[in-house]
Structure 1
Amino acid sequence: MGSRHHLGLMKTVPLCAAALALPLAAGCSAKSDASATGGKAAKPASLAELAQQTDCSLTGKRKVKDLEQGNCKTSQGRFVLLSFTTDNGMNAWLTEAKPWGGTYLVGARWVAVSQEQTLQSLRKELGGKIVQGDNHGPSHGSGHGAGHG
């Protein structure tokens, strides 16, 4: 099923994120250190600003209390953009999303979700750090792997 399973997750995670934000995100930070990575420093940006920076016409936009989400398809590939109102909200979302696998470009209060090659390209424009979700190889044994791959 590829990375499409993230879309369903993104509908439910914001509800959990508010309850989990403080205990799970305490001490966590996804701030980009441009000097350590040799890349561009990621700055906080709204969903509209992220779309403009990536030359994307957003589709399937959703907005809830602490995040905005939209889908993009450009010459760089297909990706999902998320913009958060707080670091805690973003960290809670990442904590909930990582067990589902996938690859994330994490910036300052924003995340892009896609294939690693697409995210490497987006990183040149947006900055940020590429983060891998949990590995869901054939022996992960959690029972929810049908369709992964």
Structure 2
Amino acid sequence: MRRAAVVGTLAVLPLLTACSGGAQDQPAEDPRPAQTSAAPAAGVVAPAKVEVIAGLTGCRATIRVDADQLRQGLCHTPEADFLITTFPEEKYQRTWLAEAAVYGGTYLVGPRWVVSAKSAMLAGLREKLGGTIRQLRGIGPTAGSP
């Protein structure tokens, strides 16, 4: 069940995320992957539910995956659609990020949650949610390769 949820989630990633060459926004002194900065609008940095994160961004999420290892909701906004994925434990988030690295892309990462959106949206979402913007490198040929 877990593998199917992860594979299903990752199958839609290329459609919803943009691959850009931004730098990681992770502090160099702390190697943990899910560090969060305080978000003025959110005022919360603890792990949250899909519905709470969606509410902080001004949308109402439609739950697409509700599994033991992750929950995922789709938010539809006038700017673009984006995915919110939450995890009951950090180990599931690490696994998800490792699998997502195959596809590349830029993500907003918080404590036990990840937002998948177009790169242009992530800075605005970070102001509301906190988290760090992380660039994951894809595997395989790039658009410019022969």
Output the TM-score relative to the length of structure 1: 0.67
- 1:137 is displaced (CA, Å) by 2.3
Distance 2:50 2:36 in 1: 22
For 2:99, the equivalent position in structure 1 comes to 96
Given that residues 63 and 71 in structure 2 are in contact (C-alpha distance below 8 angstroms), is that contact kept between their aligned partners in structure 1? no
- 1:33 is displaced (CA, Å) by 4.7
User: 2:56 matched to 1:53?
Assistant: yes
Paired residues in the alignment total 116
From 135, 143, 146, give the equivalent of 1:138: 143
Q: Secondary structure at the match of 2:46?
A: coil
For 1:17, the equivalent position in structure 2 comes to none
Output the TM-score relative to the length of structure 2: 0.68
Q: Percent of aligned pairs with the same residue?
A: 30
Alignment CA distance shift 1:76-1:115 (3 Å): same
Q: Secondary structure at the match of 1:79?
A: strand
Does 1 or 2 have the higher relative contact order (CA < 8 Å, sep 6+)?
2
For 1:125, the aligned partner's letter is: K
User: 2:112 matched to 1:109?
Assistant: yes
Q: Secondary structure at the match of 2:108?
A: strand
Q: Give the RMSD, CA atoms, in angstroms.
A: 2.5
For 2:76, the equivalent position in structure 1 comes to 73
Distance 1:114 1:85 in 2: 21
- 1:129 is displaced (CA, Å) by 0.5
User: 2:29 matched to 1:30?
Assistant: no
For 1:10, the equivalent position in structure 2 comes to 9
Distance 1:9 1:133 in 2: 19
Moved over 6 A (4+): none
Given that residues 36 and 110 in structure 2 are in contact (C-alpha distance below 8 angstroms), is that contact kept between their aligned partners in structure 1? no
Q: Deviations over 1:75-119 (max 9, x none)?
A: 453210001000111011000111111211000000000111111
Distance 2:106 2:118 in 1: 6
Distance 2:60 2:124 in 1: 17
For 2:50, the aligned partner's letter is: L
Structure 1 portions without partners, runs of 5+: 1-6, 13-27, 142-149
